């Protein structure tokens, strides 16, 4: 009889929580200072990844290119402060997220989060959404000197969970998630509803799910 893996590590934005609306609001807070914007939630869903600074740069490119003399650092500081103050205005867990986390933890699976979102924001977000207690470890993009797709980010998350790579599966939505899993030699499941600039079926995941509710059954393939 198949059993679930000992551990599952989740990406955060676009995998567990739909944060795009609040990220969009932060971008639209700063884009007018360079006479740009607004961007739409739909467009931001294809731009998220590698942090807020990169998201600002991508939003500038999407609205006409990075202007000469644009102060990206100042835009980042302003957008970050706005986002921190409006972290969960519109952000919600994806459908079935809580049920799936309950299912996995009730079956003894150790859970973690490996995200490029800053650790403090990640913990606040999960705390405000009443999800934080599910996770044995939460490592953000500033927890280490490296972040996804560098293998060390995922490997250190697993170390904090006291789990070996052969006992774990990564769940994510983007190229960085697939690449970090490959670098760490951990199987990876991609969600089709997340934030990615590359079609999910081109990312090279070991499995793709359309709904988080499908995750427990899909995980049985990896044991």
Residue 62: exposure state from Cβ atoms within 10 A (0-12, 13-18, ≥19) = middle
Catalytic residue selected from 11, 13, 22, 173: 11
Q: Would you call 11 a catalytic residue per the annotation?
A: yes
Cα(157)–Cα(62) distance, rounded to whole angstroms?
33
Our CA angle for 179, 216, 206, nearest 5°, is 30
CA–CA distance from 122 to each of 11, 16, 188 (Å)?
Answer: 11, 11, 21
Provide, for the chain, the percentages of residues in helix, strand and coil under a 3-state DSSP scheme, each rounded to the nearest 5. 45, 15, 40
User: What are the residue numbers of the active site?
Assistant: 11
């Amino acid at each position: 009889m198949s059993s679930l893996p000992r551990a599952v590590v989740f990406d955060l934005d676009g995998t567990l929580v739909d944060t795009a609306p609040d990220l969009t609001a932060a971008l639209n807070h700063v884009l007018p200072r360079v006479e740009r914007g607004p961007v739409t939630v739909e467009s931001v869903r294809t731009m998220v990844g590698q942090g807020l600074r990169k998201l600002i740069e991508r939003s500038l490119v999407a609205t006409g290119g990075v202007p000469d003399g644009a102060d990206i650092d100042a835009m980042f500081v302003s957008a970050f402060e706005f986002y921190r103050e409006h972290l969960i205005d519109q952000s919600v867990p994806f459908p079935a997220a809580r049920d799936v986390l309950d299912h996995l933890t009730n079956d003894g699976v150790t859970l973690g989060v490996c995200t490029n979102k800053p650790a403090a924001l990640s913990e606040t977000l999960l705390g405000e959404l009443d999800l934080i207690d599910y996770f044995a470890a939460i490592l953000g993009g500033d927890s280490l000197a490296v972040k996804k797709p560098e293998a060390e980010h995922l490997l250190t998350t697993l170390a904090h969970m006291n789990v070996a790579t052969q006992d774990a599966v990564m769940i994510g939505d983007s190229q960085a998630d697939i690449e970090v899993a490959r670098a760490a030699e951990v199987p990876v499941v991609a969600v089709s509803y997340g934030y990615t600039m590359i079609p999910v079926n081109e990312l090279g995941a070991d499995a793709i799910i359309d709904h988080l509710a499908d995750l427990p059954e899909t995980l049985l393939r990896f044991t």
